[in-house]
Chains A and B, each alone.
Chain A
Amino acid sequence: EIVMTQSPATLSVSPGERATLSCRASESLSSNLAWYQQKPGQAPGLLIYGASTRATGIPARFSGSESGTEFTLTISSLQSEDFAVYHCQQYHKWPYTFGQGTKLEIK
């Protein structure tokens, strides 16, 4: 199976600053990479798909990029509602696999 590795496990950032979250795949995904946001007590919600395409209704401050098997989610100016857990997921091959998540917390 494809192993997804997210870093860091926890990221402390001040509101208004930029956050950069990383996700590494154990093999090529042909851009079949998604990012989800999960708030406490809620299901994950789709943010980014195709490594860099924002899902419907997602603000422009969220952006995704890729370089080989390395993927990055950038939040340009953190708002209070952005503090949550972020998961990456590959949908290139079965079984679909997720990273362990990055908790974005207020500094």
Chain B
Amino acid sequence: QVQLQESGPGLVKPSETLSLTCSVSGDSISSHYWSWIRQPPGKGLEWIGHIFYDGSTNYNPSLKSRVTLSVDTSKNQFSLKLSSVTAADTAVYYCGGNMWGSPFDVWGQGTVITVSS
């Protein structure tokens, strides 16, 4: 059974870069497409983008200019960098996985990110 665990700073200052890592256990990192999804307080879910084990990516156009996804197959981890953050980026950030043409069947527990000085 695949399990995901996010790790990150919790608090980020405005204009800085948010960095999060998701660790994959229980299966090979080549088994799924790996996504980041966020949920601002009291709002719906927003897909940020995904990466495959070979490094290929797709990003949400709404965030594409500020997002970089990467994968480290040796550590079974993938990561998110979101630059120039503002208060609007305050959210619970989830990592998730899906197989090609399928919905998200695995989710991390989520990590709360607050953007504040």
Contacts and interface: CB of A to CB of B under 8 A. Distances in A.
Given A95-B61, A98-B44, A98-B46, A43 B103 contact: no
Contacts, number: 54
Given A95-B47, A96-B47, A100-B43, A46 B101 contact: no
A101 to B, nearest CB: 5
Contact of A100 (B44, B47, B58): B44
Interface in B32-73: 35, 43-47, 49, 58-62
B17 interface: no
A91 interface: yes
Interface residues on A, range: 20 to 34
Main secondary structure of the interface of A (DSSP, over half): loop
Interface in A85-107: 87, 89, 91, 94-101
A87 B43 CA distance: 11
A49 to B, nearest CB: 5
Interface of B: 35, 43-47, 49, 58-62, 94, 96, 98, 101-105, 107-110
